[in-house]
Amino acid sequence: MQQRSLSRRHFLQISAAVAGTAALAACAPAAPGASTEGAAPAAGKTELRVAHAWDASFWPRQEEFDQQFNEKFPELNVIGENTPWGEFRNKYMTQAAAGALPDIMYCQFAWAQQFIQQGSLINLQAYVDNQADFNLEDFTKPSLVSYKKDGDLHIIPYDEGPLLLYWNVDMFDAAGVPHPTPDWTMDNLLEAAIALTKGEGQDKVFGFDGLPGPDGSMNANYLYPWGAKFWNEPEENECHLDTPEAIAALEWWVAFRHEHGVTPTPAEWGTLGGGWNGFAAQKVAMFQQGTWYTPVLVKDATFKWDLWHWPKGPVAQTTSSMGSGYGTTKDSKSPDAAWTYINDYLSTDGQIFMWASTGRGSPSRISAWDAYFESPNAPPSARVVLEALNTYAVHDVLDTVNGPEITQVAAQTWDLVLLGEMPVAEAVKKITEDLQPVLAKNNPA
């Protein structure tokens, strides 16, 4: 994970397991690997610049794919460029304004519509329709939601993963807590969190980390299970937090910290090294995250762990699913060649090579999942991931152009709730009022 200094706001956001943070990991944070950006063009070949945001450990895999692609298509020469995830969006927004985008670029769901709506990414629907072996039906249903304009695809997803429950098997067994079952409810989650919380001070172990933040995961993970919602889908132009159902749900979640003491405060979280490291360091027994977290645990965990279904709520069982993809930019002088790369990269074989066999994340193509199940980096209960995607996971994740602003405005007040300085009912009333001018931007013209 990318290391950086942590502000008070950042402590609160991570502690609340914000979907934005979760999704960052989905699409490679950390330092960039080596890049061939600026390499001399190969004589007589069509050159393709492709922008990625991988961590350094995964960059050799990308280079290996590109080498194989260049051999397979000798008339093309792919030049990869890698940028730290935290710098990626601003860097390529600047390039878009200057008319200097690469041929192909990575794009995360949360800001895909910004690039699409401003015209930075071209319409790929004709390529999809004319590619006989593309098979759009092979993509998991939630994976395609964020990448369309007027019904046409502008980005092809490579992954789409649900937020699920990671749990420390050794801690459960040591405490005599029953393992999660398919019928686990939110009340079971709280009961287990209380039973698993122990110790004091820096030796304290917390039962659960992952409180709601006003971001893309709030609806499906924290409110839909209670029959409530933060915003309306797909318009995202109404706030529904100031309702009895939403208030009851949020009060239930906030009590994890302020009443039950099973979730770390921002100050306690800081001593854990963060939610990510807290679970890996066995300071947190349960943690909400996507499948992209499993390679971290395979590398760092010294204990038995697994992931499981997000628990059922009083009204429904739902969870957020998120992902990323690649698109051809408006500045590409070789869009047909760019499609050749995208089609090969995001084919079944490409997804198996890059993401399924490595256990890197949840492939967007259903046909790549068998390889994911067999990956040494996949969690023991890997099949739960596809079950969630096919049944109760939804891509209701604040993906309009104004999504980031909605989160930013709401967080100014919600942070006070997480600090215990404002009651939920008062906070949601203020958030609802504050969001009206922001949400109005999503009204039809």
CATH code of residue 187: 3.40.190.10
pLDDT at 15: 40
Residue 78, in any domain of the structure: yes
Final residue before a domain boundary, out of 371, 390, 409: 390
Q: Is 124 inside a domain boundary?
A: yes
In terms of Cβ atoms closer than 10 Å to its own Cβ (0-12, 13-18, 19+), residue 180 is: buried
pLDDT of residue 408: 96
Q: Is residue 5 part of a domain?
A: no
130 and 173 part of one domain: no
pLDDT at site 331: 98
- The answer to whether 305 and 297 have CB atoms below 8 angstroms apart is yes
Q: Based on the domain organization, do 200 and 289 belong to the same domain? A: yes
The answer as to whether 196 is a domain residue is: yes
* Residue 293 pLDDT: 87
Helix H segments across 273-402? 274-280, 294-300, 335-345, 348-351, 369-374, 383-391
216, part of any domain = yes
Provide the pLDDT for residue 12.
39
- Please check whether residue 96 lies inside any domain of the structure: yes
pLDDT at 166 (0 to 100): 97
User: Looking at the domain assignment, is residue 282 inside a domain?
Assistant: yes
Residues in contact with 391: Cβ distance below 8 Å, sequence separation at least 6, in sequence order: none
- Helix, strand or coil, per DSSP, at residue 439: helix
Helix (H) or strand (E) holding 412: helix 403-418
- CA geometry: angle 188, 193, 197, nearest 5 deg: 155
345 and 335 in a single domain? The answer is yes
Last residue of a domain, one of 390, 413, 430: 390
Which helix (H) or strand (E) segment holds residue 165: the answer is strand 164-168
Q: How far apart are the first and last CA of the chain?
A: 40
Judgement on whether residues 247 and 172 belong to the same structural domain of the protein:
yes
Residue type, 395: H
Q: 126 and 51: one domain?
A: yes
State pTM to two decimals. Answer: 0.87
Cα 230 to its chain centre, rounded Å, is: 19
Binned average pLDDT, 10 residues per bin, the chain of 445 residues: 32 38 39 47 85 94 98 98 95 97 96 96 98 96 95 97 97 98 97 96 91 96 98 96 98 98 87 69 93 87 96 98 97 98 98 95 95 93 95 95 94 97 98 97 87
- Tell whether 264 and 128 lie within a shared domain: no
Residue ending a domain, among 351, 371, 390, is 390
Cβ atoms of 408 and 366 within 8 Å: the answer is: no
**How many alpha carbons lie under 13 Å from residue 32 in its C-beta half-sphere?**
16
Yes or no: say if 229 and 223 are a contact pair by the CB < 8 Å rule. Answer: yes
Q: Are residues 93 and 218 in the same domain?
A: no
In terms of phi and psi (left: phi > 0; alpha: psi -120 to 50; beta: otherwise), the region of 287 is beta
d(Cα 371, Cα 389) in Å, to the nearest integer?
17
In angstroms and rounded to an integer, the radius of gyration of the C-alpha atoms of the chain is: 22
Task: Note the pLDDT of residue 29.
Answer: 37
Q: Does residue 84 have a cis peptide bond before it, meaning omega lies within 30 degrees of 0?
A: no
> If you count them, how many residues does the chain have?
445
Domain count, the chain: 2
The verdict on residue 15 lying in a domain is no
Domain around 298:
163-320+398-440
Look at residue 264 and give its three-state secondary structure.
Answer: coil
pLDDT recorded at residue 40: 52
312 & 431 share domain = yes
Return d(Cα 322, Cα 19) in angstroms, integer.
Answer: 9
pLDDT for 269 equals 78
For residues 277 and 363, state if they share a domain: no
E strand or H helix that includes residue 158: strand 156-162
- Quick check: helix, strand or coil at residue 70? helix
> Residue written as tokens 């749990």?
167
CA dist list (Å): 272 to 265, 277, 284, 304, 383: 11, 7, 9, 19, 30
Q: Let me know: does 125 contact 328? Beta carbons within 8 Å.
A: no
Same domain, 367 and 408: no
SS3 content of the chain, % helix, strand, coil (to 5): 50, 15, 35
Asked if 368 and 405 sit in the same domain, the reply is no
- In 3D space, the residue among 400, 417, 415 whose CA is nearest the CA of residue 8 turns out to be 415
Tokens of 194: 């209380």
For 89, phi and psi rounded to 5 degrees?
Answer: -60, -50
* Same structural domain, 271 and 353: no
